[in-house]
Amino acid sequence: MNRLMLSFLMLWAALFVKAAEPLHDLDSIYHCLDMEIERYATYVAKKEAGINLLKRQLRNAQEPELKYAFCFQLYEEYRAFENHTAMNYLRACVRLAHQLGDPVRADRCHILLSICCSKTGLYDEAEKYLALVDVKQLSPKNLGDYYHACYKRNSELAYYTSVTDLKAGYQQKADEYEQLMQRFIPRNCDLSYQIRELRLLNSKQLEASMKLNTEWLRIVKKGSHRYALVALYRYLEYKAVNDTTRMMYWLAESALADVRNGIMDQGSLWEMANQLMLQGDVDRSYRYISFTSDCANRFGSRQRSWQISPLLAVIAKQYKMENEHKTELIQIAALSCGVLALLLLASVIFVNRQRKRLALASKKQKHYNRQLSQINAQLSELNRQLSSSNMKLGESNRVKEEYIGRFLSLCSLYVDKIESFRKQVNKKVKNRQYEELFRETRSTSLKERELDELYNNFDDAFLHLFPTFVEEFNALLQPAERIELTEDGHMPVSLRIFALIRIGIEDSSKIAEFLHYSVNTIYNYRARVKNGVIADRDNFERTVKKLGAQNKNT
């Protein structure tokens, strides 16, 4: 009886939500999404231009208050763009808040840092940031954010932990913090709508959850980053009632908003790739998951990478199987064309031999005619018969010539078809299998981007492993010779050389190979830094190898 009632309620809810809005043209919005992904670099460049403007304003700012404001704006810009950079600016906000003697703002930044850590799987770090917060002095708004950070950490742990015994405990804590959070956050904020709608969806109250989503949709601007979140939850509404067309439309709307806003945390597009794969659209699914994977790598989320990797493997396997099947068909077609070409060649040879035989017969016939003309009177009847034979031979020649002309035309047509097929195959290979490789290898920009990303990843990993390395390294140098990180938190070349030495790569040739400099340049960098050492220059590099050792397990 309960199952029948639940089925009835879901059917009624499905009829309700389907009547709420018309059907949409999925092909049109898919095409629009494909075009916007092609223009994604433009949207990213626009976002980076705004970020660069804020960075210039930050460099020109003098007062700590103004610096704090710009750093926090930069955190907001980087929050869905590059998580590690967003966290760097939050740390800068913490330092500025301490300079200003404002522990309230410092606590708020610690809370936001905890949320950033939870989003990317750094749960121990998230807990440590929360431990720095003085809960007693928090305002109601900051208290809501604090409970949100606690809820975020425990809900993420409950979702991702593979230890069954711990999952229930994490979920219980997440539920407790959710209730506390709801007391302090505004009812019309996105987080409140998100929690309430998810609760209604989980309890199968589909009419109420759709009504709440419609209310939420009215207060957000279409095309904004907030709109992407609302559209994603509307997708969940239609998914709950198995309305495939409307759910894919709203999922595409969410992905479109993320792409147009230059967002790197592409959750909607990842889910869309998954749904398209289930629906059999492997080509588009592979393009979307590859794009999402690139964005996730730049954003720096371990969870998103964990989500994408299995799906990427499945889609890649399916894509490979389809390509292999298409390749087999192409090979069969090419083999058939080859056999047909051989048959055509054999036919041409045969016809040519027949033509030669006919030419020889015609020549002999003329010789006979000359002989017969000398005895024309005696062999008039034979001449008549021979004349009749000549007429038949002439007709035969005409028929043969027509056949040869048609045959040669057919050969030419098949040659053109083979050439056209070859071009088509080449085009398909370029567009479907090697498109990205073809585009990226046309210039050296791919190498430069990849090297930048390699060095940035190296810097982030190294500084995470040895967070005190820069400070201890500079302590060995004279004040005027000390080397600081760049504004975006990465190491300059001279510092990166000694970072490589710190991890055991001492050979200048190997360092030069990794950094793409000449060996002499590496020698010069090393010598220049050693010249600025305070104490023992000969033992400097041995000392560098021991820096940050106490932080290896951090």
pLDDT at 398: 38
pLDDT of 355 strictly over 50: yes
pLDDT at 318 over 90: no
CB 184 within 8 A of CB 147: yes
Q: Mean pLDDT over residues 368-381, rounded?
A: 75
* Residue among 263, 288, 305, 257 at smallest CA distance from 119: 305
Lowest mean pLDDT segment, chosen from 35-44, 148-157, 341-350: 341-350
Highest mean pLDDT among 333-347, 491-505, 527-541: 491-505
Question: 10 or 352: which carries more pLDDT confidence?
Answer: 352
Q: Is the dihedral of CA 87, 92, 95, 99 positive or negative?
A: negative
Sign of CA dihedral 171, 173, 175, 181: negative
Q: Comparing 513 with 303, which gets the higher pLDDT?
A: 513
> Does residue 12 register a pLDDT over 50?
no
pLDDT reported for residue 314? 66
The band of 407, judged by pLDDT with boundaries at 50, 70 and 90, is: very low
Helix (H, G, I), strand (E, B) or coil at 549: helix
DSSP state for residue 537 in the 8-state scheme: S
Structure tokens, 177: 């913090």
Contact of 9 with 203, CB cutoff 8 Å: no
**pLDDT for the residue numbered 435:** 65
More confident residue, 224 or 422: 224
What percent of the chain is modeled with pLDDT above 70? 78
Alpha-helix runs per DSSP H in 244-301: 244-260, 267-278, 282-299
pLDDT tens-digit profile of 90-115?
A: 999 999 999 999 999 999 999 999 99
Mean pLDDT, rounded, for 460-472: 88
Q: Which stretch of DSSP H or E encloses residue 531?
A: helix 519-531
- Of residues 64 and 302, more confidence is placed in 64
Instruction: Supply the DSSP symbol for 185.
Output: S
At residue 432, the pLDDT reads: 66
| Digit-coded pLDDT (tens) for 14-34 | 444 444 566 678 989 999 999
Domain edges within the chain = 25-45+187-300, 444-553
How high is the pLDDT of residue 312?
58
Q: What is the DSSP string of 197-232?
A: HHHHHHTT-HHHHHHHHHHHHHTS-TTSHHHHHHHH
Centre a 10 Å sphere on the Cβ of residue 373 and count the other Cβ atoms it contains: 10
Q: What is the mean pLDDT of residues 174-196?
A: 92
Quote the mean pLDDT of the chain: 82
Q: According to the model, what pLDDT value does residue 428 have?
A: 57
pLDDT grade, residue 316 (50/70/90)?
A: low
Strand partners, 533: 477
pLDDT at 497: 92
| Fold classification of 25-45+187-300 (topology level) | 1.25.40
pLDDT tens digits, 68-93: 999 999 999 999 889 999 999 999 99
- 485 versus 436: the higher-pLDDT residue is 485
Listed residue (189, 197, 261) closest to 224, CA to CA: 261
224 pLDDT higher than 70 = yes
pLDDT given at position 334: 78
Q: Are 308 and 292 in contact (CB under 8 A)?
A: yes
Q: What is the mean pLDDT of residues 257-280?
A: 88
Taking the C-alpha atoms of residue 231 and residue 234, their distance in angstroms, rounded to an integer, is: 5
Mean pLDDT value of segment 340-356? 84
Q: Which residues fall within 8 angstroms of residue 206, CB to CB, at 6 or more apart?
A: 9, 10, 13, 14, 16, 17, 200, 237, 240, 241
pLDDT in tens, 496-522: 998 999 988 989 899 989 888 999 999
Least confident of 313-317, 361-365, 527-531, 548-552: 548-552
For the chain, the residue count is: 554
Judged against a pLDDT cut of 90, whether residue 121 lies above it is answered with no
